[in-house]
Structure 1
Amino acid sequence: MDPLYHHQMAISILTGGWLSEGCFFRAPLYPYFLALLYKIFGVNLLIPRIGQAIIGSFSCLLVYHLGKKVFSKKVGLIAGLVSAFYPLLIYFDGELLLTNLLIFLLLLAFYLLLNGRMFLSGLFFGLSAITRPNILLFLFLFLLINLRNRKKVFPFFLGVILPIIPVALRNYIKGKDIVLIAWQGGINFYIGNNPESDGITAIIPNTRGSWWGGFYDARRIAEEEMKRELKPSEIDRFWLKKGIEFILKNPKKAFLLFLKKTYLFFNGYEISNNRDIYLFSRFTYLKYLIHKLPFFFFPFGLLFPLSLIGIYFSQREKKKEGILYLFLISYSLSFILFFVTARYRMPLIPILIIFASYGGIRLFKERSQSIPFAIFSVAYILFNIDPFRITSPNLGQSYTTIALAKKEAGDDEGAYQLALKAIKEDSLWVEAYNLIGVILTEKNRLVEAKKVFEKSLIINPYLPETYHNLGNLSYAEGEREKAKEFYRTAIRLDPYAARSYNNLGNIYLEEGKMKEALELYEKAYNLEPLFDIALFHSGLVYYYLGEKSKAFSIWKKVLKINPKNKLARLALQELK
């Protein structure tokens, strides 16, 4: 879900202007990085992955230099090599996620910091903050500790705020609201601190599992409860307040949840968020490097105990890497307070690799010492078990994710079979039923499709997507009034259901109700600025109303959003 969001956001930046609209919901640097690549090389999903592979290589070089600076050249060499082959670093280099860029920025910032380049170090920490705002906790503590050293603090602070101030100003100008970087924090805090939280599930209870569905539901629930339209910062505070209320009303439960999240954050098992890491790695050579076996979660289940040995030896010898300890603690805490997944701890991996490399060397040299072996043994046993039974992920969700990708690629039969497999794994996974119903509708197997959608409604009668799909089915059956009712129900359940607005507009267009159709198309496009079909249809209305120049400019804009839109290309040729 997050890779798709980043891709869509990057295209939106290109088509809607580099400043885009509204306050940033998520930190903006990575989508802008993607947009820059798309601008230079064209919209191509391979180019960012090649770019990230190059960035990942430079990160390995920085790990070498940090290991050399903190410990020795030997430690640096080992740490750099381990980083180059660490499977999760390779895995996330290939994902359209901010992980790769964030790791590079942080490593470069630490390298500059340890070499006394305070302004430049602060600058790259600032860039890290507008990539992942959680880094602000570390920066606050670092500045607090060094407050008396003005010569050191001032250039560092100047560097930090240099990238942040333009983001805050842009949010105020474009969103008419005071948002420092992004307004996602309160929602994420409630996700990890509510009566139903398990510490790892990344959605608010009783909201949809899709990215945009969850986003719109969080906004809708807040506005319905407050009985007015809310600014982004107000939505942020609404969910933050609810999370704090849960903690204050349930201190024991909240504390136990905090302990659980702490344990899971350092557990060897890789907790997936967007896609099941273990399942998807089966399709690559990484299946030989990522393992979940009884009492053996590789690689983190081995890395973390080894890193603790390195920390033990470095503490005993009073080596000066306190800044790295501060980062490890503060960055970990900044996520444990919310919810935890494997990718959130990835920026810790290079630092842990450095400590693990040092610990491994010292352990080999001092094999007779019992304390390091005891630390390793206890940590290995503790963090390579699964007391919370999280190693059995929802395969229904994973198979549905792959099925959706196959559907997008045009492989309907492959998607259909995988959706059936998803239902076999989880008979209540409603998204799989909906996908099967959509495929059957497109194949004109309407009776079968209707039964599938009815089954979906039994499982979850409040899912807007199901009513939208039933609207499409009714329209295919020629029952326009019934289709309209289904689309209206979908909109009532989800006021941000852009596709339902569009399809309802299609019916009004066919009925000759141009004004109503145009309002619905514009509503759909305003909700989703990348929804080129809704924009095309609005151009169609202007064409029928005789405003051909207006239609021409709209269809030109459609091709900017989606150069592959054949209808817009044909329409423009007709006008010429």
Structure 2
Amino acid sequence: MMYYHDNMKKGSVNNGRLERKIQLGLVLLLAILLLALCLRIADFSMFKKSPFFNNLFLDSLLYDETAQNIAKGDLLGEGPFYTGGPLYQYVLGLIYWTLGRNFNIVFALQILLGVFSCFLIYLIAKRVFNQTVGLIACFMASAYSMLIFYDTKLLTTSLGITLLLLFSFFAIKASESHKLRDWILTGAFLGLGSLARPNFMIFMIPAIFWIVFTYFNKKTYLFKVIPAFIISFFLMLMPIMIRNYIVLNEFVLISAVGGGVLYIANNPKADGANSVANALGRGVKGPLEQIKEGKKHADSVYGYETTYSEMSNYWAKAALNFIISQPKRFFWLMQKKFALYWNEVEVPHDFDYYFFKHNGWTLGFPLFSFILIAPLALGGIFLSLENWRKTLFIYMIIASHFLSLLIFYVYSRIRLPVVPFLIIMAAFCVWRLYKLALSRKLIKLAKTCTIIVLAFLFVRLPVVRTSFATGHHMVASAYLRNNEFDKAIEKFKESIRVDSGIAHTHIVLGKVYNAKGDLDKSIYQFEEAQKIEPNNYVVLCALSRLYLKKGMLEKAKEYAEHSIRSYSGLAESHYLLGLVFIKKGGYRKAEQCFKEALAINPKHKDTRFSMAFTLSELGEKQKAKLLYEKLLEEPSPSPKAAYNLAYIHGEEGNIDKAITLLKSIEDTYHDKYNLHRSMANLYMRKNLPELAELEYKKAERYKKR
């Protein structure tokens, strides 16, 4: 059997030459790791100057907020973990607790973690092949653009990759050392990796297959290793499983939203990347909002408040229904995901790599990227088949990761964990091609080069279009979180100029104009969004609200009804239609709308307030009073509810109760002029003209303002 060791020679090896070779290898390794460190520090220095450094969003914001709560002692938190996995949040929380919330420290540690990952790649490549391949792989990893890019982002990517490499290193080492300790560490690191990225659980399959393959003829040892591996794996998961049971009151392995993610990836509108489907709340800001919208929809379908597992099962069934009912569309989707996985384009999710590359000098260096690594890796796989037993584990890791993303979706950050293994195969390809050229094995050299060229052409296929629109949108969002509205508006406009077909950009810009009080510009942006996504209920509800503000009741009614036709399970749509009927004086119709809204969401405060007002106008004062009183019993009671309840008490002659209620909202009610006039009128009815005079004077002061 042939093994890939370039220092194997017949007879004895000159000890002096071997020692010099080892020393040279060590010097080269240290130089490469220093390069990895310098490139990551340089990228961090550029990132620190960007508006994103302190203005977090999406997953980064979720991790940071959860970590702050953990650092304050809230170890359990609320609700399910999002798909990113909980480990990074707890590690971040530990850093905040011990060293404070200092992003410089966090990124310094992540950079060191990235350099350590390069070292692990060297160790794996050296163990599977030889030291030369290890050094080449380490060099490729140290200067691989996306590894550098994500090592300086507040995301779970770096931690997940390091744990996956540790799992792989010990799995390969254990198959040679046959030590039970190494297999236990293999299971432990896979368990920790799964807590960082739950989709890493798929590597249980190649791991168990690898154990069986290693000990196929040693059944006694096999029955020791597999239980030890599985137990160590689940021991790492156990704290999170216990936490989930305490918080959610149900058995959940890691994340309870896998079904929702499966549906996002497999639905009639899915595009192979992470596109949030309408039913899960298109246009929402982040992961927690997606979970809430997904659960709200499941609750409306089942007619009761579902558990998170029930919600996940609902969306998993919806994904399965899509696959069964639309096999052609699903087959097209699989082809798209296949092409995306092996394509040169780094599909953005949280951060747009190309935007950062365009605006920063570090990523502009001639760094390694997928377009070079992937074809070389496929060439390396072909060349390594002659000794497939040695490289089988790496094949299985690549294949398992590829299949897992076919089930879900493909974008740059979620594809990145497979890159270290592609780098190892690419490094082997470079070394082996050199050896083939030296030995003049031209036929094999030609075959390999043909595979590389064909793979290169396939990787370059125009599967997805990229632009700086996402990057401009991200910058605008950062300005928005810093309350720099004018800068945000300009960046949103720039994003639209680059690509006017992104509904979410129009939605957010519409919200900004609404906050600034420019209703016409806000309406224009939402109507542009509706042209792109005609049945997006977020857009339809926003337009209904805006036209209500302008007093254009027919337009408001039109959009509210359209939203209900689009998705009848949203309380907001029925509520808005009810407001239209109130404005028109149709209180019975309004009452029916509010009943429908409350049937969907009984806790909807605005609907409950409007229902109380409607009942009062219909003369059902006692029912209205009960609703207002319940609203006032809740945390953060509504001042408007107190004002309206005071009005009813005044009509009924309960003047003291009315005055007490009005006094309780003197500091919080928005319309101070009418508040003090109402109090003055009540004092006059009590025959207290001096107090009434004081209230009239207060009212006049507010009128002048």
Report the TM-score, using the length of structure 2 for normalisation. 0.64
Residue of structure 2 equivalent to 1:203: 276
Residue of structure 2 equivalent to 1:126: 191
Is the Cα–Cα contact under 8 Å of residues 23 and 232 in structure 1 kept in the other structure? yes
Residue of structure 1 equivalent to 2:476: 403
Give SS of 2:111's match: helix
Is the Cα–Cα contact under 8 Å of residues 469 and 498 in structure 2 kept in the other structure? yes
Structure 1, unmatched stretches of 5+, are 292-297, 524-540, 546-576
Point out the more displaced range, 486-495 or 244-253. Answer: 486-495
For residues 88 and 503 of structure 1, the distance between their equivalents in structure 2, rounded to whole angstroms, comes to 48
Q: 1:135 aligns with which of 196, 200, 204?
A: 200
Q: 1:2 aligns with which of 54, 59, 69?
A: 59
For residues 488 and 259 of structure 1, the distance between their equivalents in structure 2, rounded to whole angstroms, comes to 38
For residues 319 and 239 of structure 2, the distance between their equivalents in structure 1, rounded to whole angstroms, comes to 30
For residues 48 and 167 of structure 1, the distance between their equivalents in structure 2, rounded to whole angstroms, comes to 23
Residue of structure 1 equivalent to 2:81: 24
Q: CA deviation at 1:348?
A: 1.0
Residue of structure 1 equivalent to 2:588: none
Amino acid at match of 1:121: T
Residue of structure 1 equivalent to 2:123: 65
Amino acid at match of 1:91: F
Q: 2:349 aligns with which of 236, 252, 273?
A: 273
Cα RMSD of the aligned pairs, angstroms, is: 3.9
Amino acid at match of 2:245: Y
For residues 95 and 463 of structure 1, the distance between their equivalents in structure 2, rounded to whole angstroms, comes to 33
For residues 32 and 421 of structure 1, the distance between their equivalents in structure 2, rounded to whole angstroms, comes to 38
For residues 318 and 457 of structure 1, the distance between their equivalents in structure 2, rounded to whole angstroms, comes to 53
Q: 2:358 aligns with which of 270, 275, 282?
A: 282
Residue of structure 1 equivalent to 2:383: 313
Q: CA deviation at 1:219?
A: 1.5
Structure 1 residues 341-490: aligned runs within 5 Å: 341-367=411-437, 368=442, 369-386=445-462, 388=463, 390-393=464-467, 395-427=468-500, 429-440=502-513, 446=518, 451-452=523-524, 455=527, 459=531, 463-464=537-538, 489=572
Q: CA deviation at 1:61?
A: 1.0
Amino acid at match of 1:78: I
Give SS of 1:282's match: helix
Structure showing greater Rg: 2
Is the Cα–Cα contact under 8 Å of residues 436 and 449 in structure 1 kept in the other structure? no
Residue of structure 2 equivalent to 1:11: 68
Change (3 A) 1:374 1:171: same
Give SS of 2:314's match: helix
Change (3 A) 1:257 1:439: closer
Change (3 A) 1:448 1:325: same
Is the Cα–Cα contact under 8 Å of residues 506 and 529 in structure 2 kept in the other structure? no
For residues 351 and 333 of structure 2, the distance between their equivalents in structure 1, rounded to whole angstroms, comes to 24
Change (3 A) 1:473 1:414: farther
Amino acid at match of 2:453: S
Is the Cα–Cα contact under 8 Å of residues 160 and 197 in structure 2 kept in the other structure? yes
Q: 2:138 aligns with which of 71, 76, 80?
A: 80
Residue of structure 2 equivalent to 1:232: 308
Q: 1:189 aligns with which of 253, 262, 268?
A: 262
Is the Cα–Cα contact under 8 Å of residues 118 and 156 in structure 1 kept in the other structure? yes
For residues 240 and 227 of structure 1, the distance between their equivalents in structure 2, rounded to whole angstroms, comes to 18
Structure 1 residues 287-298: aligned runs within 5 Å: 287-289=363-365
Is the Cα–Cα contact under 8 Å of residues 201 and 339 in structure 1 kept in the other structure? yes
Is the Cα–Cα contact under 8 Å of residues 457 and 466 in structure 1 kept in the other structure? no
For residues 527 and 269 of structure 2, the distance between their equivalents in structure 1, rounded to whole angstroms, comes to 26
Is the Cα–Cα contact under 8 Å of residues 195 and 246 in structure 1 kept in the other structure? yes
Amino acid at match of 2:631: E
Change (3 A) 1:69 1:14: same
Amino acid at match of 1:335: L
Q: 1:174 aligns with which of 225, 247, 267?
A: 247
Q: CA deviation at 1:168?
A: 1.5
Deviations 1:329-358 (A, max 9, x none): 112211111111111121111111111111
For residues 522 and 44 of structure 1, the distance between their equivalents in structure 2, rounded to whole angstroms, comes to 37
Residue of structure 2 equivalent to 1:43: 101
Give SS of 2:351's match: coil
Give SS of 2:196's match: coil
Residue of structure 2 equivalent to 1:519: 634
Q: CA deviation at 1:405?
A: 0.4
Change (3 A) 1:376 1:24: same
Residue of structure 1 equivalent to 2:651: none
Change (3 A) 1:456 1:145: same
Q: CA deviation at 1:397?
A: 4.2
Change (3 A) 1:75 1:281: same
For residues 607 and 137 of structure 2, the distance between their equivalents in structure 1, rounded to whole angstroms, comes to 55
For residues 475 and 49 of structure 1, the distance between their equivalents in structure 2, rounded to whole angstroms, comes to 46
Is the Cα–Cα contact under 8 Å of residues 278 and 290 in structure 1 kept in the other structure? no
Report the TM-score, using the length of structure 1 for normalisation. 0.78
The answer to whether structure 1 residue 248 and structure 2 residue 321 are counterparts is: no
Change (3 A) 1:235 1:73: same
Identity of aligned residues (%): 27
Amino acid at match of 2:196: T
Change (3 A) 1:492 1:88: farther
Change (3 A) 1:370 1:166: same
For residues 12 and 269 of structure 1, the distance between their equivalents in structure 2, rounded to whole angstroms, comes to 37
Amino acid at match of 1:253: R
Amino acid at match of 2:350: N
Change (3 A) 1:16 1:517: farther
The answer to whether structure 1 residue 97 and structure 2 residue 152 are counterparts is: no
The answer to whether structure 1 residue 154 and structure 2 residue 227 are counterparts is: yes
Is the Cα–Cα contact under 8 Å of residues 80 and 248 in structure 2 kept in the other structure? yes
Amino acid at match of 1:23: P
Residue of structure 1 equivalent to 2:92: 34
The answer to whether structure 1 residue 215 and structure 2 residue 288 are counterparts is: no
Give SS of 2:270's match: coil
Change (3 A) 1:45 1:208: farther
Is the Cα–Cα contact under 8 Å of residues 61 and 80 in structure 1 kept in the other structure? yes
Q: CA deviation at 1:151?
A: 2.7
Q: CA deviation at 1:92?
A: 0.6
Q: CA deviation at 1:473?
A: 12
Q: CA deviation at 1:430?
A: 4.7
Number of equivalent positions: 509
Point out the more displaced range, 150-159 or 160-169. Answer: 150-159
Is the Cα–Cα contact under 8 Å of residues 605 and 631 in structure 2 kept in the other structure? no
Amino acid at match of 1:170: R
Is the Cα–Cα contact under 8 Å of residues 502 and 520 in structure 1 kept in the other structure? no
For residues 573 and 429 of structure 2, the distance between their equivalents in structure 1, rounded to whole angstroms, comes to 57
Point out the more displaced range, 249-258 or 102-111. Answer: 249-258
Point out the more displaced range, 271-280 or 450-459. Answer: 450-459
For residues 141 and 455 of structure 1, the distance between their equivalents in structure 2, rounded to whole angstroms, comes to 50
For residues 438 and 258 of structure 1, the distance between their equivalents in structure 2, rounded to whole angstroms, comes to 36
Amino acid at match of 2:393: I
For residues 410 and 344 of structure 1, the distance between their equivalents in structure 2, rounded to whole angstroms, comes to 31
For residues 439 and 195 of structure 1, the distance between their equivalents in structure 2, rounded to whole angstroms, comes to 31
Q: CA deviation at 1:28?
A: 0.9
Give SS of 2:359's match: coil
For residues 261 and 208 of structure 2, the distance between their equivalents in structure 1, rounded to whole angstroms, comes to 26
Give SS of 1:366's match: helix
